[in-house]
Structure 1
C-alpha cells in the first residue's frame, strides 16, 4: 500500500499525534485525538494525514503540513477546542512530535526501500508509544 508521504515533495512537516489518555471521550464517544484529526483537515497548510494503531491499540496519526505556522495554528485551535469540549488541555491528552522532512531518502521507484521505511516508521511509533505509556 502506498503511503501519502511517498507522494509529497519535500520540504514539508510531519506532526505525529499520540493519545496520552485513551479513556477520555465525550457523550458522543469522540476522543480528543478524533477532534484534532477533524480540526487538521480544516486548517490552512494541511497536506494530508495517515492513521494507525500501535500494538496496544492506541491511536497514532501522522499529519503533513506545509510549514510550522500551519502546525501552530492547528495546535492553537486544537488546544482551545479540546479545553472547551473536554475541560482539559491538549498537552494533557495528546502528545505531538513535529519533524521537518527535507528530502526523500529513497528512490520513488524502489518499492523495497519504501516497504523498509514504512516498517521502520511503524516500529518507531510502537516504541515511542510504549515508552510514553
Structure 2
C-alpha cells in the first residue's frame, strides 16, 4: 500500500467510511475488482484505504463529473447494492474539494502558508 500520488490541487476526494458485517461474503474479491475498475475510469487519480474495525477508503478524482460517472458505473452499482444488503452495517460517503496538499518533502513549506 502506498500514498496516492495526486496532482496539484484542486481535485476531489471521495471519502467512504464503513462498518462491515461479519464474514467476507465475497467482499474481498469485489473490493479488488472495484479498485481495478476505478483505476480505468476517466478522471481517476488514486486511492488510499485502511481498515481496523472502521474502514476508510479515499479515492481521488479530477472533477465532479468523473465522480458522478464512477457512481453510475454498472458494475459499481451492483457493488453498491450488495454493500447495502450484505457487507455494511453502516456507511457514509463524503465528497470534498481538495484545495491544498503537502507531504514530508515539503512539510516546511506547509508551516509557512
TM-score range, shorter chain: 0.5 to 0.7
Q: Aligned runs of 1:1-133 on 2, under 5 Å?
A: 3-4=3-4, 7-23=6-22, 25-26=24-25, 28-30=26-28, 36-54=34-52, 57-77=53-73, 78-83=76-81, 88=85, 94-104=91-101, 108-110=105-107
TM-score (norm 2): 0.65
More helix by share: 1
CA distance in 2, matches of 1:61, 1:105: 19
What is the number of residues matched between the two proteins? 108
Cα displacement (A) at 1:47:
0.3
- Judge conservation of contact 1:24–1:31 (CA < 8 Å) in 2: no
Q: Deviations over 1:73-93 (max 9, x none)?
A: 11222234433x56839x986
- In structure 1, list runs of 5 or more residues that go unmatched: 115-133
TM-score (norm 1): 0.57
- In structure 2, list runs of 5 or more residues that go unmatched: none
CA distance in 2, matches of 1:43, 1:60: 21
More strand by share: 2
Over 3 Å counting, the alpha-carbon distance change for 1:35 and 1:58 in structure 2 is farther
- Judge conservation of contact 1:107–1:113 (CA < 8 Å) in 2: no
Q: Deviations over 1:56-84 (max 9, x none)?
A: x232111110001111111222234433x
The DSSP-based 3-state class of the residue aligned with 2:85 is coil
CA distance in 1, matches of 2:93, 2:33: 14
